[in-house]
Amino acid sequence: MINKRQFAFLLSFFSLILPLVTFAGLQPLFAQTDPGSKGTLVISSIPWQNEEILRATYAPLMALLSEKLDVETRLIIPENYEKVGESLLHKGADIAILGGNTYVSLKDEYPQIHYLATCKQPTAFYRSLIIAGKGSGISSLADLKGKAFGFTDHESTSGYILPKIMLEEAGFNADTFFSNIYFLNKHDKVYDAVAKGAVSGGGVSSTAYEKAVERNGDVYIILKESDPIPRNAVVGAPHLSQSQLDAIKEVLENAENDPAFSSSDSILKGFLIREDSFYDTVRKIKRQQ
């Protein structure tokens, strides 16, 4: 039993906190960093290119999200693929841009993450390439035997998993076929290493091919290319509400119709809205590993 004084205190207490509860739903879409400030939407990206290129690539997207959702936006680029997943799961980021393999692995382990869209760069598909340098004397996969080879990251779909599968389908064990294997973390580093002759061949994404040619000249020969595979997935964190997810998805779906976004120099040209099953191609690849 509570006495009148205790009852009066509780009544006064709840009269103070009730407005805070009532108006909590009227706060900005994402968490505020300071009282009176806009909410902040944090985007995490896999480090598939160097930081300068990634920030230029996603700048129009960040500006569009900021305008349409009335939030501040911040891009974080963890040092490896695994930490991008961690940022998503531990409220370090609201949305993440993941490679196909990273997305499928994370979705299998944490079904509560939400597929939102697939990046168009400019299409929603890309390919994995095995490349060598022109004038190197290498004209086939067999010519790479006993040579130095560069991959990107163990978790990279196009920079490791698919090149390894393509080599094995050709009858070569990627683990023993080369004299040395180097993991160079980023696709542009593999392209540059091939151009400089530091490695004889490399496994890379087609998304970085044109920039590599601009940077190093027409010095590459494509020895093998994969079937089309889905590009990076945009994923929502488990802590986001359905209304927040829907709001983000609506912005992504209409991005290419926004003049400021579509006229930008970014390779990111829009988003394709599909379902999680769109990445079943990647799941099939993983089963073949």
Coil, helix or strand for 282?
Answer: helix
Domains and their CATH numbers in the chain: 39-124+230-287 (3.40.190.10), 128-226 (3.40.190.10)
Q: How confident is the model at residue 173 (pLDDT cuts 50, 70, 90)?
A: very high
Average pLDDT score, the chain:
86
Interval 253-283: pLDDT, tens? 999 999 989 899 998 999 999 999 999 888 8
Q: How confident is the model at residue 2 (pLDDT cuts 50, 70, 90)?
A: low
Q: How confident is the model at residue 178 (pLDDT cuts 50, 70, 90)?
A: very high
CB atoms within 10 A of CB 171: 9
Q: What pLDDT does residue 90 have?
A: 87
Mean pLDDT lowest for which of 21-25, 29-33, 179-183? 21-25
pLDDT at 192 over 60: yes
Percent of the chain with pLDDT over 90: 65
Coil, helix or strand for 17?
Answer: helix
Query: 209 versus 286: which is more confidently predicted?
Result: 209
Q: What pLDDT does residue 49 have?
A: 85
**Cα angle at 237 between 253 and 162, to 5 degrees?**
75
pLDDT at 7 over 50: no
The answer for 171, left when phi > 0, alpha when psi is -120 to 50, beta otherwise, is: left
| Rounded Cα distance, 95 and 227, in Å | 28
Q: How confident is the model at residue 205 (pLDDT cuts 50, 70, 90)?
A: very high
Q: How confident is the model at residue 126 (pLDDT cuts 50, 70, 90)?
A: confident
Burial of 137 (0-12, 13-18, 19+ CB in 10 A): exposed
